[in-house]
Amino acid sequence: MKRIVIFGTGNLATHLFEVYKYSGDFKIIQVYNHDPKSLQIFNDQVAITTNLNEIAPADIYILALKDDILAEISQKINETNALVLHTSGAVSVEVLNKFKNRGVFYPLQTFSKNKKVDFSKIPICIEANTAENTKVLNELASEISEKVFGISSEQRKTLHVAAVFVSNFVNFMYTEGEKICNDNQVPFEILHPLILETASKVTKMSPLESQTGPAKRNDQEVISSHLELLNEEQQKIYSLLTLSIQNLHGKEL
Amino acid sequence: MKRIVIFGTGNLATHLFEVYKYSGDFKIIQVYNHDPKSLQIFNDQVAITTNLNEIAPADIYILALKDDILAEISQKINETNALVLHTSGAVSVEVLNKFKNRGVFYPLQTFSKNKKVDFSKIPICIEANTAENTKVLNELASEISEKVFGISSEQRKTLHVAAVFVSNFVNFMYTEGEKICNDNQVPFEILHPLILETASKVTKMSPLESQTGPAKRNDQEVISSHLELLNEEQQKIYSLLTLSIQNLHGKEL
């Protein structure tokens, strides 16, 4: 059985703690955070520490930390034979260069603390510095997910920016849609089935094929009437995206 | 039993034809289109016509036509006592003013001919010019959907522009995500679970709460490294949406 220490208590750390609880081959033996308050919820389930000099000897350290403190915390962790992993989409594995055994364990999903997720369907992108470490990392990831992908740091950077488009920017489009509904006393829930179908569609066909709407149809009358309903910031977004869709789809009718 | 004539043979017309086939209370008795070729697939199932002077007497005419020909075709349809409906999100019910009985039957969903949809979950927005017509329209919609909403022409216009944001623009974000993956030899399918979860999340909590990502975190280092990976058009979109997210979320850290 391999022992794990988790660094961090954020959304991902919390979900990893929950999912490895039921693992036979891996056991979380300690959780670290600099802030004692955030450790309270783990206190009766596992050893906790706020001191980087008191990290338990273990086989795997998972640094589920914010990108901007990864380098700093890594520097403060004592030398170790453990396989040290970070979980960031945007940071290269090189940030862990001081460790002999290092890698990346990047689950590509959006996590909220109070929403359960089914880890078995979440793609986990892995990368490690040796074949032996890749093997361990593959076992760690396969223990909780059916979808494990070997992905280089360069490719992961690409995936991360693509994820901003298909998740963060998409969520912002939902936010604008909700705002438009609220401003006009229309329940946003009427749009839920459309949102789900639009997402589901692109898992079955290319989004390039499934584009619809006034921009693709080049329906100027509808586009003008829509712009009249929007505020200045929304108009900017509407105009830019309409133009981009038209550029892409060659102003078909 | 109420008799229906469908005008049009597009995605929506085709889906309506399929779903009312199994109705006990409504029966499609004729399909019209100016183009005989597009009528061929209906030919052995129902009466067809390319001539607006040969429309069968019926209780309900459903004009499932493109917005820009709605007015023209309406003018050419002979006077009738039938309840005449259009299916457009963007056009006012007034386009049907020449008919004594008129209304709107707007299923808020994205339709592709070759993808089955479960109509029972699709919100149908209805509007009619009299209480009696509203009753008939309500029966027509409730026959196929559990979610029927009375929505005025003004509200429907609002819903339509909101739908452009949450569906057409969202699909365009997926398209950019796929392009970024393809350009870097990363399989787009790794992003499918993220796409589905991002959509599913906002049916359970407000998109305002579920926003994540470098823009919301104001993570300038990640934002700069992302911009370097993008082409000029993608950079414009990335910058504008990042700024809008930051404006909305007050540059929280």
Q: B77-91 burial by CB neighbour count: b if 16+ within 10 A, else e? A: beebebbbbbbbbbb
Same domain, residue pair B141 and B176: no
Average pLDDT over residues A161-168: 97
Residue at which a domain ends, from A134, A151, A168:
A151
Same domain, residue pair A47 and A19: yes
Same domain, residue pair A51 and A118: yes
Task: Provide the shortest C-alpha distance from residue B88 to chain A (in Å).
Answer: 11
Same domain, residue pair B26 and B64: yes
Percent of chain B at pLDDT exceeding 90: 85
As a whole number, the mean pLDDT across chain B is 93
Q: Say yes or no to pLDDT of B253 above 50.
A: no
Say what the pLDDT of residue A144 is: 93
A residues 227-246 near B, CB within 8 Å?
229-230, 233, 236-238, 240-241, 244-245
Pairing of β A148-150 and β A124-128: parallel
Residue at which a domain ends, from A106, A123, A151:
A151
Say what the pLDDT of residue B155 is: 93
Same domain, residue pair B142 and B229: no
Task: Provide the shortest C-alpha distance from residue A1 to chain B (in Å).
Answer: 29
Task: State whether residue A168 sits within 8 Å of chain B by CB.
Answer: yes
Say what the pLDDT of residue A68 is: 85
Q: Say yes or no to pLDDT of A183 above 50.
A: yes
Average pLDDT over residues A75-92: 94
Q: A94 or B22, which is more confident?
A: A94
What ipTM was estimated for this complex? 0.85
Same domain, residue pair B88 and B129: yes
- Ramachandran quadrant class, A185 (left: phi over 0; alpha: psi -120 to 50; beta: rest): left
CATH for B102: 3.40.50.720
Task: State whether residue B166 sits within 8 Å of chain A by CB.
Answer: yes
d(CA B134, CA B141): 10
Say what the pLDDT of residue A131 is: 97
d(CA A5, CA B64): 60
**Closest by Cβ to B90, choosing from A208, A210, A222:** A222
- The DSSP element (H or E) to which A106 belongs, if any, is strand A101-107
Same domain, residue pair B141 and B230: no
Rounded (5°) CA angle A220-A225-A226: 95
pLDDT (tens digit, 9 = 90+) per residue, B181-236? 999 999 999 999 999 999 999 999 999 999 989 999 888 989 999 999 999 999 99
A residues 37-66 near B, CB within 8 Å?
66
Same domain, residue pair A17 and A131: yes
Host domain of residue B165: 152-204
Report chain B's terminal Cα–Cα distance, integer Å: 62
Same domain, residue pair A22 and A125: yes
Average pLDDT over residues A47-73: 96
Q: Say yes or no to pLDDT of B169 above 90.
A: yes
Say what the pLDDT of residue B251 is: 52
Percent of chain A at pLDDT exceeding 90: 85
Same domain, residue pair A175 and A92: no
CATH for A174: 1.10.1040.20
Average pLDDT over residues A137-157: 94
Same domain, residue pair A161 and A238: no
Same domain, residue pair B33 and B73: yes
Q: B221 or B129, which is more confident?
A: B129
**Closest by Cβ to B244, choosing from A158, A172, A216:** A172
As a whole number, the mean pLDDT across chain A is 93
Query: What band does B113 get if pLDDT is binned at 50, 70 and 90?
Result: low
d(CA B245, CA B253): 13
Query: What band does A251 get if pLDDT is binned at 50, 70 and 90?
Result: low
Cβ <8 Å between B155 and A186: yes
How many domains in chain A? 3
pLDDT (tens digit, 9 = 90+) per residue, A93-123? 999 999 999 999 999 987 766 677 788 989 9
Q: Say yes or no to pLDDT of A235 above 80.
A: yes
Q: Structure tokens of B164?
A: 């452009």
**Closest by Cβ to B110, choosing from A154, A163, A194:** A194
Q: Say yes or no to pLDDT of A253 above 70.
A: no
